[in-house]
């Protein structure tokens, strides 16, 4: 009796233990959950991504994965991680600092797995829809926090906490800017096919993101890079006359925002003034500190231009080069520029790998369609925001890059395979 009762469950276990379709679905669910969680939580992302990775690895075709690793879209990010590992050998930092500095690069190891999985999965678009839906909900909560500042998980009076429920205004603005610009493609397509109501709904969502960025939480990095993303969109998807009209509208809006929003005027008007205060009056300013960090980073690079100072060396370098202008709590291990971050630690070798990776990922999304546009947009945003921050190594922006490029890249590879099969027939 007990054996017969136990038999059906055992048969089910044996049946589904290596069921590729089942484990593909499980992996899809974890990827969707990671996208849903990204705007809200770092902990949940750190849970869902390893779960996704385990589900994919369980039924992976390792030969096919090995062939995929031979493509530069895969081996270049892996090479960057490998350089970070090898770079620990010539660093003079403590081993704890060296190992800690490797951590931000490890997310790049997930890229080949994402390419592999979403080349085979049909649910890649679900991941993007989940991220968009999560950001729309975050936008609604942001407006609520603006109305009632007590409705937040952060300290209400904390600088930069206005309209922020979780995380910070930089992360939130990056999400909103990406979503607002990603929606431009389907809006144009809907308008061209006379589906006006659907276009209006998506347009309202996109406009909501933009208005929130300007009136609630202003990130100058996001605002500065958005015209570049608009220009890329106009160049790829609009006619010349439409592009000129769009550029004119953008200039008018920029002028209005310039006069209506003091936070946007602050950066350009006070750049030189704040740097002068920092240098001559010993007055600590964010602009002055950032320019000081960049200046010192260039000096560090000149001391070891080829292979850098090694993994985890930056904090020690900045501590030894600290001036009287910099209080102890302002000494950092991040020059707020991705290129400088890599060049200080791994020299021109690291910079070449970084830009080669960005280039091959850009070239991956040369085609038409929403997926290609999303992938291209993710790479373009990361490249230009990394001029002002180390966004590839930051947790939030780094995972936006890995998930965006990985999912869109896998879907793009699948589309190329389908096109090749069609041509062969």
Rg value, the chain, Cα: 24
* Spatial CB neighbours of 179, under 8 Å, sequence gap ≥ 6: 131, 132, 135, 136, 205, 206, 209
- pLDDT for the residue 213: 82
What is the CB neighbour count within 10 angstroms for residue 74? 22
pLDDT of residue 296: 84
Q: What pLDDT does residue 2 have?
A: 45
**pLDDT digits 0-9 by tens, 49-108:** 999 999 999 888 899 999 999 999 999 999 999 999 999 999 888 899 899 999 999 999
Q: pLDDT under 70 in the chain at which residues?
A: 1-18, 153-163, 218-220, 234-289, 323-333, 424-425
**pLDDT recorded at residue 113:** 95
Query: Could you give the CA distance from residue 128 to residue 133 in angstroms, rounded to a whole number?
Result: 9
Residue for token digits 């709590």? Answer: 329
């Amino acid at each position: 009796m007990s054996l017969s009762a136990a038999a059906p469950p055992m048969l089910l276990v044996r049946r589904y233990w290596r069921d590729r379709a089942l484990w593909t679905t499980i992996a899809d669910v974890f990827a969707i959950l990671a996208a849903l969680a990204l705007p809200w939580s770092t902990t949940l992302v750190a849970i869902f991504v390893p779960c996704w990775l385990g589900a994919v690895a369980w039924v992976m075709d390792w030969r096919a994965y090995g062939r995929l690793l031979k493509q530069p879209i895969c081996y270049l990010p892996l090479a960057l991680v490998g350089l970070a590992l090898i770079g620990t050998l010539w660093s003079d930092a403590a081993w704890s600092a060296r190992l800690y500095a490797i951590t931000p690069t490890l997310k790049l190891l997930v890229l080949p797995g994402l390419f592999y999985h979403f080349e085979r999965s049909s649910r890649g678009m679900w991941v993007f829809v989940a991220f968009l839906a999560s950001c729309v909900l975050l936008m609604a909560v942001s407006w609520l926090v603006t109305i009632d500042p007590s409705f937040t998980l952060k300290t209400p009076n904390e600088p930069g906490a206005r309209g922020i429920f979780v995380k910070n205004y930089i992360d939130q603005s990056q999400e909103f800017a990406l979503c607002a610009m990603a929606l431009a493609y389907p809006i144009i397509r809907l308008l061209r096919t006379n589906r006006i109501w659907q276009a209006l709904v998506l347009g309202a969502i996109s406009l909501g993101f933009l208005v929130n960025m300007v009136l609630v939480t202003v990130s100058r990095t996001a605002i500065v890079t958005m015209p570049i993303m608009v220009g890329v969109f106009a160049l790829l998807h609009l006619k010349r006359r439409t592009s000129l009209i769009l550029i004119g509208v953008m200039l008018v809006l920029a002028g209005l925002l310039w006069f209506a929003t003091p936070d946007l005027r602050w950066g350009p008007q006070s750049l030189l003034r704040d740097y002068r205060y920092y240098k001559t009056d010993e007055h600590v300013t964010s602009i002055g500190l950032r320019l000081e960090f960049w200046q010192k980073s260039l000096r560090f690079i000149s001391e070891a231009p080829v292979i850098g100072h090694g993994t985890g060396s930056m904090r020690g370098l900045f501590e030894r080069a600290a001036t009287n202008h910099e209080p102890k709590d302002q000494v950092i291990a991040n020059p707020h520029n991705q290129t400088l971050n890599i060049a200080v630690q791994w020299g021109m070798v690291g910079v070449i790998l970084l830009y080669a990776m960005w280039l091959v990922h850009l070239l991956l999304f040369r085609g038409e369609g929403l997926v290609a546009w999303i992938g291209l947009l993710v790479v373009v945003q990361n490249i230009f925001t990394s001029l002002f921050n180390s966004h590839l190594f930051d947790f939030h922006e780094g995972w936006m890059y890995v998930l965006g490029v990985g999912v869109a890249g896998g879907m793009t590879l699948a589309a190329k395979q389908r096109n090749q099969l069609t041509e062969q027939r």
